[in-house]
Structure 1
Amino acid sequence: MKRFLMGMMAVLVLVVLAACSGDTIDEGNEGASTDKKDQTIKFGVTPWTSTVPPTKIAKLVLEDMGYKVEETNADVSSIYIGLSRGDLNVYMDSWFPTHQIHLDKYEGKVEDTAISYSDARSGLIVPTYMEDINKIEDLVGKEDLFENKIFGVEPGGNAAKIIDELIEGYGLDMEQVNSSEGGMLAQAIRLIEQEKPVVFYGWRPHTMFNKLDIKVIDDSKGYFSNPEIHVMTNAGLKEEAPEAYEFLSNWSISIDDVEEMIVAIEDGGDPEEVAREWIDNNQDKVNEMIGK
């Protein structure tokens, strides 16, 4: 009986050890299942042509790194709300100092992560055939030539607010007519084709400077400044997805590359194919950004 009891005890010990070993293995597997392959990086995408190239490149690189990626189309104010709540992780096309107001509003919840490029430009645009209009002061007294209208992008955005402030600051007898980027440009192109006076909001990077004979008029009062384009992230991304954050914090691209990609996309190229071509042609740069 004694030998029988000792044998039973030995069997029980082995069973317990096996169970503990199994628990350890399961816990190890559980830890492995939380790697980046199970993480989704969510991008906010504004309805601007300049947003698409950097977003598509970053999306493909992150997918190559093993992440899942989702895109959400929204206006810039909604994207900052999403970043602050953690509903979105990344926005690739934030214009500074114009968007500083959003960063101030969500301080501590949204992080200014990288400068994408620093040689952008924005302001009021006229056709070059308007030789006597070279600065905003030149519009004063000639507002009726333009039917007292300045064409701008979507209402509620910072660019629209700046234009309203500019109209008041320069004492212009004009009103801003807001629409989408496409709607604004369609109206401007229609008038340019007829060689009529038109003033509208423009920025670089954009194919409007490749396709239209236009110029930015000087803003001596500084309502518009030469912007930098920044990458913004949710403040928690650094801890939640450190490898993705490292890549985004090292991000940079030239404005010329962005404009070339915009042209290729507008000429019918698939955005992801255009982005993949950029990656293939700039693999050394991509490797630097991901820390290889």
Structure 2
Amino acid sequence: MKKFSLGLMIVLLLAFVAGCASDGGEKETTANQKITFGVTPWTSTVPPTKIASLIIQDMGYDVEEISADATNVYIGLSRGDIDVFMDSWLPAHENLLEKYADQVEDTAISYDDVETGLVVPTYMEDINSVNDLKGKEDLFSNEVYGIESGANVTGIINELLESYELDLKQVNSSEGGMLAQARRLMENEDPVSFFGWRPHTMFNQYDLKVLADEQNFFETAAVHVITNNELKENAPDVHQFLSNWHISLDEVEEMIVKIEDENADPEAVAREWIDNNQDKVNEMIGK
């Protein structure tokens, strides 16, 4: 009887230890699970990505950022290499969303009513629409400036130039390169046209106007959160948080100004937003 009791106690003890190990293992798996963000080379991508990243880290996950242009971010989403993209512009990215519709999910609208399109400085009083560029192309040295050639908007601008029959060539570079060239011309109040969008410090730094687009190549945009289809199963709490994600355009633009113009640390700016908006954060994570 004593041998039986001793044996039973050993079995129960081993079961208890195994159970504890199992619980600890599950927690460790969650803690070590990695959520990967796609990050495009645009200033608008940084604040939402940093805020979401910090919140997800506070939820117990590791986080990684992968830098790429929008096309390659979508490819990464479709392959499962990237979990989240916080800065998808629709309708500009509709073709990418449709192409990978079986692998990605349009999870939330971050903010909407965003102006985007070709811009000129306000000192060009006679240029107020894309049609006004017709016959005046030589004023611009027959060039308009755009962002990286891999961006979806590059194709849209080329289609616009062709459809309006404008004798203009798009010159592509990085966002910073485009703005540096535009800045040089605007300092002398020379004619210049380039791709502009909000949220961005360009509208804080310079007096700009978005050209009216009678053919609607550029509609009012909305910025969406895109996730791969595996995230809902692999990290349901993260998926729920991102489904509830929202932020205002003005808030994003204010943070861009702090990061770009005041050289503030992006994570410090993001953490400040989280601290000042804890009720909104709790709502988004479902507390």
Q: TM-score of the superposition, structure 2-length normalised?
A: 0.94
How big is each residue's C-alpha offset from its partner over 1:88-132, in whole Å with a ceiling of 9 and x where there is no partner? 111100000111111111112111100000121110000111110
Residue 240 (structure 1) shift: 0.5
Q: How many residues align structurally?
A: 286
Preserved contact between residue 71 and residue 152 of structure 2 (Cα < 8 Å): no
How big is each residue's C-alpha offset from its partner over 1:221-253, in whole Å with a ceiling of 9 and x where there is no partner? 001111100001111101110111111110000
What is the alpha-carbon root mean square deviation over aligned residues? 1.8
Aligned residues with identical type, % of pairs:
60
The answer to whether residue 116 in structure 2 is matched with residue 139 in structure 1 is no
The answer to whether residue 61 in structure 2 is matched with residue 67 in structure 1 is yes
Superposition map of 1:10-159 within 5 A: 10=4, 14=8, 17-18=11-12, 21=15, 24-25=18-19, 28-29=22-23, 32-33=26-27, 35-159=29-153
Residue 32 (structure 1) shift: 2.3
Gaps of 5+ in 2: none
d(CA) in 2 for partners of 1:265, 1:12: 66
The answer to whether residue 255 in structure 2 is matched with residue 246 in structure 1 is no
How big is each residue's C-alpha offset from its partner over 1:126-146, in whole Å with a ceiling of 9 and x where there is no partner? 011111000111111110010
d(CA) in 2 for partners of 1:123, 1:235: 31
Preserved contact between residue 70 and residue 152 of structure 2 (Cα < 8 Å): no
Preserved contact between residue 69 and residue 150 of structure 2 (Cα < 8 Å): no
How big is each residue's C-alpha offset from its partner over 1:146-178, in whole Å with a ceiling of 9 and x where there is no partner? 010010111132110001000110000111000
- 1:187 corresponds, among 181, 187, 191, to 181
Partner of 1:3: none
Superposition map of 1:266-277 within 5 A: 266=260, 267-277=262-272
- 1:207/1:175 Cα in 2 relative to 1: closer, same or farther (>3 Å)? same
Letter in 2 for 1:117: Y
- 1:195/1:43 Cα in 2 relative to 1: closer, same or farther (>3 Å)? same
d(CA) in 2 for partners of 1:127, 1:104: 35
Letter in 2 for 1:273: A
Is the partner of 2:223 in helix, strand or coil? strand
Residue 74 (structure 1) shift: 0.9
Letter in 2 for 1:287: N
Superposition map of 1:204-215 within 5 A: 204-215=198-209
- 1:25/1:100 Cα in 2 relative to 1: closer, same or farther (>3 Å)? same
How big is each residue's C-alpha offset from its partner over 1:271-291, in whole Å with a ceiling of 9 and x where there is no partner? 001111111111111110011
d(CA) in 2 for partners of 1:290, 1:71: 21
Moved >4 Å (runs of 4+): none
